[in-house]
Amino acid sequence: MMGDDGTMLARLRGFIEEDVGTGDVTSMIVEDKRAEAEIICKEHAVIAGLEEATIIFSLVNCRAESMLSDGSTVEPYTVIMHVHGNARGILAVERTALNLLMRMSGIATCTRRYVEMVRKVNPNVRIASTRKTAPGLMLLDKKAVAIGGGYMHRLGLYDMVLIKDNHIALVGSAGRAVRLAREVHGSRYRVEVEVRSLEEAIEAIESGADMIMLDNLAVDEARYIVGELKARGLREKVMVEVSGGIGEDNVLEYAKLDIDMISIGRITHSVKAVDMSLEIRRVD
C-alpha cells in the first residue's frame, strides 16, 4: 500500500464503517453461512485496487484471491477475484470493495490510454496526475495513476514547491517567488513555477527554478516559448511541463514539443469508473 500501512488500513476500515454504520440491515435476512463469490470486470480495462479490495475483505474475516495483478489488462467479463467467507461479511463490504476497484481501474485505464498515445510520438514525455483528486482518496487515486503507467507528480502540498499564479500575485513576481522559496527551503525541495509568458519563464529559470509549467497555453504558444528557451540556452536548465485544457483531442500536439511532462487533471477528477460486479456462486 502507498503511504503508511497503518494509516491506509485505518482509512479502509473507515470506508467500511461509513457504509455499514450500525449494521447491514438488509443482510440480516441472510442465513449465517459460508459463501464463495466472484468479482467480474465487465469491460476492457487496466485493473487497479486489488490489494485494497483484498484488505477490505480481510477486515470482515473473508479471504480474497486475485486472479491477476494490478496493472493487468483484461477483456470484458473477466473474473479478477474470488472471495470466500461468511456470506453476510461478503455482502457488507461488497460495495466498498467494488467502488474502489471500479474507480482505481478507471483511473489506471484512462492513464494507460494517454501513456500509449503519447509514446507513439514522443517516448520521453511522461503523463502526470494533478492534485485534482477526490478528498480522502488522494493516495489511492495517485497509486492508480502509477499502475496505469503515469507519473504521480507531487502527492500533496508537502513534497515539492509549486508556485502558481495566486502565489505570484501575492508576492509580486515569479522571480521573487522562487527566491523566497529558496530562502525558506534551500535545496530541500524541488521548485516549479507556473508561467504564462516567455518573460515569466525566463525570470523563473534565471531565479533558480528546477521546473516550469506552461499553464493553459495553446500549442503554438507553448512551442514558441520552448523554442525561445532553446535559442537562449535555457531549455536544458529546467524540466518543462505543460498543463491545462489537455485531452485526447490535443495531447499528441503537445507531446510533439520538446517537453518533459504533460499533466492531465481529468484522469482523476473526471474518471469513468470501470463496470464491475460481485456475484455469489456457491453457498455452503
Catalytic residue annotation: 132
Residue 179, amino acid: R
Measured CA to CA, the distance from residue 2 to residue 181 in angstroms comes to 28
* DSSP calls for 76-93: TTEEEEEEEEEHHHHHHH
| Diameter of the chain measured on Cα atoms | 75
Give the C-alpha distances (Å, rounded to integers) separating 245 from 193, 217, 235, 258.
Answer: 18, 9, 23, 19
Closest by CA position to 1, among listed 54, 45, 41, 38? 54
Residue 260, amino acid: D
> What number of residues does the chain have?
284
Is residue 215 within 8 Å of 196, Cβ to Cβ? yes
Note every long-range contact of 218-225, with CB atoms under 8 Å and residues 24 or more positions apart, other chains counting. Answer: 219/250, 219/253, 219/254, 219/257, 222/254, 222/257, 222/259, 223/257, 224/198, 225/195, 225/197, 225/198, 225/201
Task: Dig out the grid coordinates for 147 from the structure.
Answer: 499502475
